[in-house]
Structure 1
């Protein structure tokens, strides 16, 4: 491609508004890709931690010992935060001399539900921005295209004899805005759908763990009450 019709040359020759549109879309794309790599790492780590903790939890480890080991960590997140919140509330209610096992389990479940909400909010960080970029970028690019083509035809009307060489650069620079809008939107939409699915799977796994853990605590609480 010759220098006269290179993308960089067309960008420099574009109007101020079209240049602004291109810069906005380029910024959206760069920020979105940074978020994609960040979310990918975080969700992969969350899935690995989920599997590792469930293996340890279902290996028959003592819950009190597991709680002590987990709470001693410098950073607690994911399924570990649910376990810590649930077991901590269970121990607190048990020390309150509440005799009804169902009340203890309900309180424990509520504590884990709050922790679950926080974890899901953390996992969904930046996803709304990706959804926004995916939905509005094509329209921003289209706006730049319409503006650029409009200016090209206005300039074309000011000359007596029009040629394709006079119109082509203006139309080309305008179409670049649409291409940049799609370039920003397509990865954002793909990443949003993929990450949303992964967050949903993690949330379902967390919810299943909450139910199973609550059942274990209910049986333990009922057994303690029966021995009194």
Structure 2
């Protein structure tokens, strides 16, 4: 920065736009990369917020229908052939296994036990796929949360190196010589933290939400297995 520019330093000289425009190309690249990472993470955050809210609303409605006293067959038929939510898919899969086993005959306790095992395997498969689906995007949040501070720190270190270079070239230790370069460097760290903090909080929240949702599916699977066992006991 030349002496004339130093003499005209004002508060506006340290605005976000001014800091970005004056920054070295490496620091600019760091800022742009962190800004894009923040945008992607916020897209994931908004998508997951909407997704978990919708999934839990649908699960609440379906569980209310199941507990209303209607037959499971009627509820499964009302859900349609290819329901999008996991709970009706689990119900339809369990009833399909039940119908196939009943058509072949359930003449022994061993066959009944095998039916319960098949239902458990089918439920586990659905739960695993659904859990993987709701966890989409979480690895991106983890990467942004862990890598952004270090990337921002790299931009800061590079900017500090430029500040010392300015001191060496101008042979002047006046604060006006190094203040802009230091501000640009610290701005890179600030952007890194701004990208990392929301991603870190969201990752932990959504990981917890995914775990609770998986537990909800597992609880529903246990209820289905109990209902099938009750039917088997009534037939016996």
State the TM-score, normalizing by the size of structure 2: 0.90
Partner of 1:131: 142
Q: Secondary structure at the match of 1:71?
A: coil
> Out of 33, 37, 49, which is 1:28 matched to?
37
Partner of 1:188: 199
Cα-to-partner distance string for 1:18-63 (whole Å, 9 max, x where unaligned): 1010001100111111111110010011111111111111111111
Partner of 2:209: 198
Higher mean C-alpha deviation, range 42-51 or range 156-165: 156-165
State the shift of 1:157 in Å. Answer: 1.1
Unpaired runs of at least 5, structure 2:
1-9
Partner of 1:79: 87
Does 2:17 match 1:8? yes
Partner of 2:230: 219
In the TM superposition, 1:98-177 aligns within 5 A as 98-99=106-107, 100-177=111-188
Does 2:35 match 1:60? no
State the alpha-carbon separation in 1 of the partners of residues 229 and 132 from structure 2. 28
Question: Considering only aligned residues, what root-mean-square deviation do their CA atoms show, in Å?
Answer: 1.5
State the alpha-carbon separation in 2 of the partners of residues 124 and 140 from structure 1. 25
Q: Is the 8 A contact 2:144 2:195 kept in 1?
A: yes
State the alpha-carbon separation in 1 of the partners of residues 149 and 117 from structure 2. 48
Q: Is the 8 A contact 1:101 1:222 kept in 2?
A: no
Cα-to-partner distance string for 1:133-159 (whole Å, 9 max, x where unaligned): 111110110011011111111221122
> Out of 41, 48, 52, which is 1:39 matched to?
48
Partner of 2:5: none
State the TM-score, normalizing by the size of structure 1: 0.93
Count matched residues.
224
State the alpha-carbon separation in 2 of the partners of residues 78 and 44 from structure 1. 14
Q: Is the 8 A contact 2:30 2:155 kept in 1?
A: yes
State the alpha-carbon separation in 2 of the partners of residues 200 and 66 from structure 1. 26
